[in-house]
């Protein structure tokens, strides 16, 4: 196939006038894939089998004394009038004394949760006191158990005082998250500590009924005490009359910054609130869990209209834990300015950098391309198309990477995440579907190939390596056009500030670039 840039030197110098040489010929593919001959039935059947036979994560937490100590020293609890709560506002660290239900404490110990950190203890105390809760804490600190434990306790208490069982599913606790994958993961964690997984030495708590409201899952027609839901499936189920909210006592929003965002799910949450009776609203306990929230110019958290509506006039408390400096090592690599040479194209340069980073990780862990692997990698792209391109390119180069994006079915996504958790693959090339809440303890390196236009997304992305006490490395690739574009350059400004606050080593080029943009912030004298 003739290449448009491969012209003979004498032809280029013969005339300065452009010469039309005809359209570029289409490439001839010798062995095209015959889509109609693909055995799609066997593929779907095989995927379904892998989904059913996924391994169970038996351990829920890795011990990290350094992170727990940091939480103890830096956590703050504030009342809704901004007054600070005393430091002794807490519960006991020991599970046997802090958890009243012996079955629950035994199951927690079975999944390696031997004690609760400060974030979990103070959150449990706030919820037990019947107050609204706003929690902001870094990703990977164990926020899931901070709401699962009191949610289970709430169900046990309410059912103890209830004499009549509803005829339709009427959840006492409603837990809503932004994606079906995250909902499934939280549901699995709840099954784990309820002793409903197939494990030895657990005491099943069959009196607590749980179910999911997500796509491709058939919701129960029997009793349901805790419902885990995505917004779309929840709305459809309520409209169909298959679930009633008259017994609702607690609503929990995971990844709450997305759930309260009017441009995301905020309007849907408001619609759900409007369907509740006044009696339910009056006694409803609202809890928000996230690593980030909207802030004003002074850096204070700003409540949205939907949060104000959910919290109502009842008292509530803020539990805040800052990010631990140096917990995740952040690195920034600047790509050279592209020239006319096709080899200097940003995409090609990024792929070469990614290859070198992967090879370095393999060398440091003494592993080979084909495995087995000591740790895994997550590469973040902005679009589905880019994720597919990068995953395909890496596989052609012999690396064991899989794509993870919305084009995959829920079963395919679950199988890929499970393969990543148990290190059957070396990594994933993913979109933002992986950036929030997905808990994979094997990930030790995230590579940000393309920065998002929202800096909070960066915080969630790098948090994939900080799961349950595990630190790691986050590497960002910055190309020349990113630094020239006003909007993306503002994101790099925030990256610089964030790295400074996290006590990270700043590259010299980034320091000079930031100083040139903000000379008023530096005293050159």
Residue 4 CA to residue 347 CA, distance in Å, equals 20
Instruction: Note whether residue 216 is domain-resident.
Output: no
Judge whether 44 lies within some domain: no
**Last residue of one domain, picked from the residues 320, 346, 376:** 320
- 264 lies in the same domain as 304: yes
What pLDDT is stored for residue 12 in this prediction?
A: 43
| Structure-block tokens of residue 85 | 């709560």
Question: Cα 441 from chain centroid?
Answer: 12
Q: Check residue 19 and give its pLDDT.
A: 55
Closest to 472 measured CA to CA, from 365, 319, 349, 352:
365
What pLDDT, on a 0 to 100 scale, did the predictor assign at position 4? Answer: 40
Residues 372 and 296 in one domain: no
Q: What is the 3-state secondary structure (H, E, C) of 367-413?
A: CCCCCCCCCEEEEECCCHHHHHHHHHHHHHCCCCEEEECCCCCHHHH
Q: Identify whether the C-beta of residue 460 lies closer than 8 Å to the C-beta of residue 291.
A: yes
Q: Is residue 196 part of a domain?
A: no
Token code pair at residue 454: 């929202």
Is the residue at 466 inside a domain? Answer: yes
247 close to 223: Cβ distance less than 8 angstroms: no
CA distance to 74, 144, 381, 443, per residue, from 467 (Å)? 19, 11, 21, 8
Residues 366 and 441 in one domain: yes
| 455 lies in the same domain as 516 | yes
DSSP 450: S
Q: Which region holds residue 142: left if phi is over 0, alpha if psi is between -120 and 50, else beta?
A: left
Question: Domain span at residue 410?
Answer: 328-521
Q: For the CA atoms of the chain, what is the radius of gyration?
A: 26
**Quick check: is 174 in a domain?**
no
Neighbours of 38 (CB within 10 A): 10
What are the tokens at 174? 């409603």
Is the dihedral angle over the CA atoms 279, 283, 288, 289 positive or is it negative?
Answer: negative
Whether residue 264 contacts residue 432, with contact meaning beta carbons closer than 8 Å, is answered with no
| Strands 316-320 vs 443-448: parallel, antiparallel or unpaired | unpaired
The residues, ordered by sequence, that sit 6+ positions from 101 with a Cβ below 8 Å of its Cβ are 152, 153, 156, 205
Return the CATH number at 142.
3.40.50.300
Residues 334 and 316 placed together within one structural domain of the fold: no
Residue 6 in any domain: the answer is no
Q: Does the residue 29 lie in any domain?
A: no
Nearest to 476 by CA among 495, 504, 453: 495
The answer to whether the beta carbons of residues 195 and 204 sit under 8 Å apart is yes
Same domain, 316 and 336: no
Q: Which of 320, 348, 364 is the last residue of a domain?
A: 320
Containing 237, the helix (H) or strand (E) segment is: helix 231-239
Where do runs of H (alpha helix) occur along 320-373?
A: 346-364
What is the torsion angle, in degrees rounded to the nearest 10, for the CA atoms of residue 413, residue 417, residue 419 and residue 420?
140
Q: Is there a single domain that holds both residue 149 and residue 266?
A: yes
Query: For the chain, how many structural domains are there in total?
Result: 2
Separation between Cα atoms, residue 68 and residue 52, nearest integer Å: 36
Question: To which H or E segment does residue 247 belong?
Answer: none
Same domain, 445 and 386: yes
Say yes or no: 288 and 375 in one domain: no
Give the whole-angstrom CA distance, residue 476 versus residue 331: 6
- Same-domain pairing of 444 and 395: yes
Q: pTM for the full model?
A: 0.79
> Angle at CA 120, nearest 5°, toward 114 and 124?
110
Which of 320, 353, 378 is the C-terminal boundary of a domain?
Answer: 320
Specify whether 299 is located in the same domain as 384.
no
Query: What are the tokens at 189?
Result: 């964690």
Query: Rounded distance, CA 308 to CA 294, Å?
Result: 14
Q: Is residue 234 part of a domain?
A: no
pLDDT string in tens for the chain (525-residue length): 444 444 444 444 444 455 555 555 655 656 655 655 666 667 777 877 877 777 766 555 555 677 778 888 999 999 999 899 998 999 988 888 889 899 999 989 888 888 888 999 999 999 999 999 999 998 778 899 999 999 999 999 999 888 777 878 999 999 999 988 889 889 989 999 999 886 777 889 999 999 999 987 888 878 899 999 999 999 999 999 899 999 999 999 999 999 999 888 999 999 999 999 999 999 999 999 998 898 888 888 889 999 999 999 999 999 999 887 777 889 999 999 888 888 888 889 999 999 999 999 999 999 999 889 999 999 999 999 999 999 999 999 999 999 999 888 888 888 899 899 899 999 999 999 888 877 788 899 999 999 988 888 888 888 888 665 567 899 999 998 888 888 889 999 999 998 998 889 999 999 999 999 888 765 544
Indicate if 398 and 504 belong to the same structural domain.
yes
């Amino acid at each position: 196939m003739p290449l448009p840039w491969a012209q003979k030197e004498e032809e280029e110098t013969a005339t300065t006038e452009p010469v039309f040489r005809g359209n570029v010929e289409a490439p001839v593919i010798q062995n095209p894939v015959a889509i109609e001959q693909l055995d799609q039935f066997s593929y779907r059947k095989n995927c379904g089998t892998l989904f059913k036979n996924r391994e169970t994560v038996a351990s829920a937490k890795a011990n990290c004394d350094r992170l727990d100590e940091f939480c103890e020293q830096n956590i703050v609890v504030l009342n809704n009038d901004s007054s600070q709560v005393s430091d002794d506002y807490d519960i006991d660290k020991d599970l046997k004394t802090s958890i009243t239900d012996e079955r629950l404490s035994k199951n927690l110990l079975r999944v390696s949760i031997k004690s609760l950190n400060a974030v979990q203890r103070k959150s449990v105390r706030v919820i037990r006191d019947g107050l609204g809760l706003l929690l902001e804490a870094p990703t990977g600190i164990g926020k899931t158990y901070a709401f699962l434990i009191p949610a289970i306790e709430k169900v046990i208490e309410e059912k103890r005082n209830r004499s009549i069982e509803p005829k339709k599913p009427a959840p006492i606790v409603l837990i809503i998250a932004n994606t079906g994958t995250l909902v499934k993961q939280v549901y699995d964690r709840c099954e784990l500590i309820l002793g409903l997984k197939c494990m030895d030495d657990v005491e099943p708590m069959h009196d607590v009924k749980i179910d999911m409201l997500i796509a491709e899952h058939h919701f129960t027609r029997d009793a349901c005490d805790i419902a885990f839901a995505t917004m779309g499936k929840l709305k459809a189920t309520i409209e169909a009359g298959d679930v009633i909210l008259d017994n609702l006592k607690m609503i929990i929003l995971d990844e709450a910054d997305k759930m309260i965002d009017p441009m995301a799910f905020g309007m849907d949450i408001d619609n759900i609130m409007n369907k509740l009776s006044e009696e339910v609203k009056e006694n409803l306990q609202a809890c928000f869990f996230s690593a980030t929230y909207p802030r004003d110019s002074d850096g204070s958290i700003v409540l949205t209209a939907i949060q104000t509506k959910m919290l109502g006039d009842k008292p509530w408390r803020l539990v805040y834990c800052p990010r631990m400096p140096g917990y995740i090592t952040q690195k920034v690599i600047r790509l050279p300015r592209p020239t006319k040479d096709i080899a200097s194209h940003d995409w090609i340069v990024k792929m070469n950098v990614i290859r070198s980073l992967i090879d370095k990780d393999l060398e440091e862990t003494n592993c080979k391309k084909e495995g087995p692997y000591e740790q895994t990698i997550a590469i973040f792209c902005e679009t589905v198309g880019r994720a597919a391109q990068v995953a395909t390119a890496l596989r052609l180069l012999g690396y064991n990477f899989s794509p993870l994006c919305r084009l995959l079915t829920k079963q395919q996504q679950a199988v890929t995440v499970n393969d990543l958790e148990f290190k059957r693959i070396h990594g994933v090339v993913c979109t933002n579907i992986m950036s929030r809440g997905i808990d994979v303890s094997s990930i030790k390196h995230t590579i940000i190939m393309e920065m998002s236009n929202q800096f909070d997304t960066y915080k969630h992305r790098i948090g994939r390596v900080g799961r349950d006490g595990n630190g790691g490395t986050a590497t960002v690739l910055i190309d020349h056009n990113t630094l020239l574009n006003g909007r993306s350059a503002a994101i790099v400004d925030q990256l610089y500030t964030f790295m400074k606050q996290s006590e990270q080593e700043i590259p010299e080029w980034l320091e000079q670039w930031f100083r040139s943009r903000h000379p008023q912030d530096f005293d050159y004298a």
